[in-house]
Chains A and B, each alone.
Chain A
Amino acid sequence: GAVVSQHPSRVICKSGTSVKIECRSLDFQATTMFWYRQFPKQSLMLMATSNEGSKATYEQGVEKDKFLINHASLTLSTLTVTSAHPEDSSFYICSANPLGTSGRGPSYNEQFFGPGTRLTVL
């Protein structure tokens, strides 16, 4: 159980276009999902916390108008990279924390990660 999927797994786009990445919790509900960015040979950097039914919380230095996050349901969060440029090329990873219906209480704290999306902007 506790599987998180991401789509697409890889995407190549031209500079100036927008790209949408989906993050789905397949067998549990998640009121909170997280979006991370990982450059080659580096650690994961939290970009934003996605909250179902409310606005996302962005980390300092992350442009909220460039990285649009929508968490419209308890199983889906989307990250849209608007007007993408080559410097946005990176590996984007989402994670979700199962609460309530999964049978695990709020103190469990475990996050389950998606397989990631490799974005290449030409």
Chain B
Amino acid sequence: AQTVTQSQPEMSVQEAETVTLSCTYDTSESNYYLFWYKQPPSRQMILVIRQEAYKQQNATENRFSVNFQKAAKSFSLKISDSQLGDTAMYFCAFSVGNGAQKLVFGQGTRLTINP
């Protein structure tokens, strides 16, 4: 069975600081995708960043980057120059194979950015 674990239920940092959210996963598959989703108070799920397992290069989207360690099955999210609007629940997620595949979510990390 595929599982995703986020070991940090809550985190809090000051605005402009850098914060790293942890995620580990377990799978025996070789073709899979990893995602970080953000859920602000509106509860709308927003894709932050995605990583294909076959790519060695870590994905980057503006202030968001990942540290993908395939052998360790680790997929952490780094937010640089954090902003008040980054306050949200962050979910790490995983899907196997190509096409329309179901997502398996971690427990989530509640991130608060303080002014």
A, B: real partners: yes
Chain A contacts with B in 36-87, Cβ cutoff 8 A: 38, 42-46, 49
Contact B100 A113 (CB under 8 A): no
Chain B contacts for A91, CB-based, 8 A: 43
Q: What's the dominant secondary structure at chain A's contact region?
A: loop
Contact A115 B43 (CB under 8 A): yes
1/0 per position for A96-114, CB-CB distance to B under 8 A?
A: 0101000000110111010
Residue of B nearest to A96 (CB): B100
Contact A106 B99 (CB under 8 A): yes
Is there a chain A Cβ closer than 8 Å to B87's Cβ?
no
Contact A109 B43 (CB under 8 A): no
Q: Give the residue of A49, A95, A110, A116 whose beta carbon is less than 8 angstroms from that of B43.
A: A116
Q: Give the residue of B44, B50, B99, B105 whose beta carbon is less than 8 angstroms from that of A97.
A: B99
Is there a chain A Cβ closer than 8 Å to B76's Cβ?
no
Chain B contacts with A in 80-103, Cβ cutoff 8 A: 91, 95, 98-103
Interface magnitude class on chain A = 20 to 34
Q: Give the residue of A32, A43, A46 whose beta carbon is less than 8 angstroms from that of B100.
A: A32
Determine the distance from Cα of A43 to Cα of B47 in the docked complex, in whole angstroms: 15
Is there a chain A Cβ closer than 8 Å to B33's Cβ?
yes
Determine the distance from Cα of A43 to Cα of B103 in the docked complex, in whole angstroms: 12
Chain A contacts for B95, CB-based, 8 A: 109
Determine the distance from Cα of A99 to Cα of B100 in the docked complex, in whole angstroms: 8
A57, chain B: closest CB distance, angstroms: 9
Task: Identify 13 residue pairs between A and B in the complex whose beta-carbon atoms are under 8 Å apart, listed by A's number.
Answer: A30-B100, A31-B100, A32-B99, A42-B107, A43-B105, A49-B100, A93-B43, A95-B103, A97-B100, A97-B101, A106-B98, A115-B42, A115-B43
Binding site for B on A (CB under 8 A): 30-32, 34, 38, 42-46, 49, 91, 93, 95, 97, 99, 106-107, 109-111, 113, 115-116
